[in-house]
Amino acid sequence: MPSVSKSKLKLAIKAQSKVGSMFKPFKVKGVKFRNRILAPPTVNDHANVEGKVTPALIKHYRTLARQGVGTIIVESAYVIKQGRSHINQLGISEEEHLEGLEQLVRGVKKEGASIGIRISHAGAQTSENACGEQPVGPSVLNFGRDYDISREFDQGDVAEIVLSFVHAAERAEEVGMDFIEINGTEQQLLDQCCCVKLNSRVDEYGSAKIETRMQLAREVVSAIKGRESVKIPLSYYFSIFEKIEDGFKPKDLKNMVKLLEKAGVDFFHPLAVHAMNKCFENKEPLCYWTAKYTDKPLIINGNIKSPQLLDEAATMGCADWFAMDQSIFDRLQWYPFLKRKISQ
């Protein structure tokens, strides 16, 4: 009889639990979630020009909650005007943003869902028109004609950026968010630092080593977790597929996850184009690889748009939440439909 590794056996046991408890309440870090269905950000321009929550934004997320979503992650909110990616992006950088965010949180929680917010800095992927100054990045970058050439950030910029993430986390706590999620993908600043193609520095914030390319992210996470006023859990959102062609290996993923875990990340949100796409020589999906290197809870995300794909993702056994594609939520009576199909 072939031997079964301890990690695969653990995931197999976990899979049985996740499939059976897909629509049941569970807790992570003291936060209660009514089911494992998660709605990732699906809009990014419903705020007003000042970055404030609008009635349309509240309606969008409250509708998802009313339909049965267990957990909602609000779209990327800029932590400082310097890091605003576009006009009408949601903001969490100023006190004036709090009132609308409080209304959003109250509305979603009234419908029974839990809610977190993704916080972000655009880095070089913005324009002077959007952020009010020359963009900053790990290196001098230009993302195209809609963006302006960035300057390389210096130590003074680093201190300001880290503090802006901390203040954003404090505001998230203040308005009642259940957790925060740091945006480490989508070619935003922290992702730019991690990517060899975009980070040509040779100092403590960049080199061939993943440890230095992740330094800014580690400082952000550590600073947030070290702030006594921030008690809500912290998620880290990341992707690696665009980095694999540049030589990103399983050992780099392991080091990245371990570094972030040590810094204080409470759970991870690995993004794939397709949740079941295999990486690293087509061996296993990204969520599975991530689960090999951490026991922290995981969100699986990547084009899960049918009950069959949801069941396949759950059967893999590595995820605690399942981020569904927007097309599922566009279906009338999607919640009883999913529940019926998964229960069969």
Predicted confidence (pLDDT) per residue in 137-187, tens digit: 999 999 999 999 999 999 999 999 999 999 999 999 999 999 999 999 999
Instruction: Decide which of 42 and 174 is more confident.
Output: 174
* pLDDT, position 208: 87
Indicate the pLDDT class of residue 226, thresholds 50, 70 and 90.
very high
Specify the pTM: 0.94
Confidence at 342, pLDDT banded by 50, 70, 90: confident
Q: Give how many domains the chain has, as a whole number.
A: 1
Question: In the chain, where do the E strands start and end?
Answer: 26-28, 31-33, 37-39, 71-78, 114-120, 136-137, 151-152, 179-183, 234-238, 267-270, 278-279, 284-285, 299-304, 321-324
Inside any domain, residue 1: no
Question: What band does 43 get if pLDDT is binned at 50, 70 and 90?
Answer: confident
224 lies in some domain: yes
In a domain, residue 251? The reply is yes
Residue 276 lies in a domain: yes
pLDDT > 70: what percent of the chain?
94
Identify whether 77 is part of a domain: yes
Determine the pLDDT at residue 13: 47
Q: Is residue 174 part of a domain?
A: yes
How far apart, in whole angstroms, are the C-alpha atoms of residue 177 and residue 51? 17
Across residues 294-311, what is the average pLDDT?
96
pLDDT mean over 87-110: 98
- The residues near 304 (Cβ < 8 Å, ≥ 6 apart) are 275, 310, 313, 322, 323, 324, 325, 328
**Model confidence pLDDT, tens digit, residues 44-76:** 788 999 999 999 999 999 999 999 999 999 999
Domain limits for position 171: 6-343
- The CATH number assigned to the domain holding 265 equals 3.20.20.70
Residue 235 lies in a domain: yes
